[in-house]
Amino acid sequence: MQSEERVFETFLRQYREIFCVLTNAAEQITGQYSLSFEQYLLLKQIHEQRNITLSELADDTRTTRSAAARKLRALLLDGYVEQEAKMDDRRVKYLRLTPKGENVENDIHQVFLQSAKTWNQIPSDLSDDEINDFLTRYQDNLAIWDRNRPKFHRPVVRARHQATSED
Q: Which residues are CB-neighbours of 26 under 8 A, at least 6 positions away? A: 37, 40, 112
Same domain membership, residue 78 and residue 29: yes
Please give the tally of structural domains in the chain: 2
- Region 29-34: what's the mean pLDDT? 94
Mean of all residue pLDDT scores within the chain? 85
For residue 86, pLDDT beyond 80: no
Q: What average pLDDT does this structure show over 6-34?
A: 89
Considering the domain architecture, whether residues 106 and 158 belong to the same structural domain is answered as no
Same domain, 72 and 138: no
Which of 35, 37, 40, 73 is CA-nearest to residue 54? 73
Query: Are residues 162 and 91 located together in one domain of the fold?
Result: no
Domain that holds residue 136: 125-167
Q: How far apart are CA 110 and CA 144, in angstroms?
A: 33
Q: Output 162 or 93, whichever has higher pLDDT.
A: 93
Distant-in-sequence, close-in-space partners of 71: CB < 8 Å, separation ≥ 6: 36, 38, 39, 42
CA distance 57 to 69: 9
Same domain assignment for residues 85 and 115: yes
- The pLDDT score that the predictor gives to residue 44 is 95
Give the pLDDT band of residue 77 (cuts 50, 70, 90). very high
Q: Are 31 and 67 in the same domain? A: yes
The answer to whether residues 34 and 87 belong to one domain is: yes
| Cβ within 8 Å of residue 94, ≥6 positions away | 51, 52, 53, 83, 84, 85, 86
89 plus 142 within the same structural domain = no
Report the share of the chain in percent with pLDDT over 90.
33
Model confidence over 49-65: pLDDT tens digits? 988 988 899 888 888 88
Q: Give pTM, 2 decimals.
A: 0.73
d(CA 132, CA 135): 5
**Whether residue 166 sits in one domain with residue 86:** no
CA angle, 146 then 152 then 158, to 5°: 165
The residue among 92 and 100 whose pLDDT is bigger is 100
Distance spanning both ends of the chain, measured CA to CA: 34
> What is the CATH classification number for the domain harbouring 20?
1.10.10.10
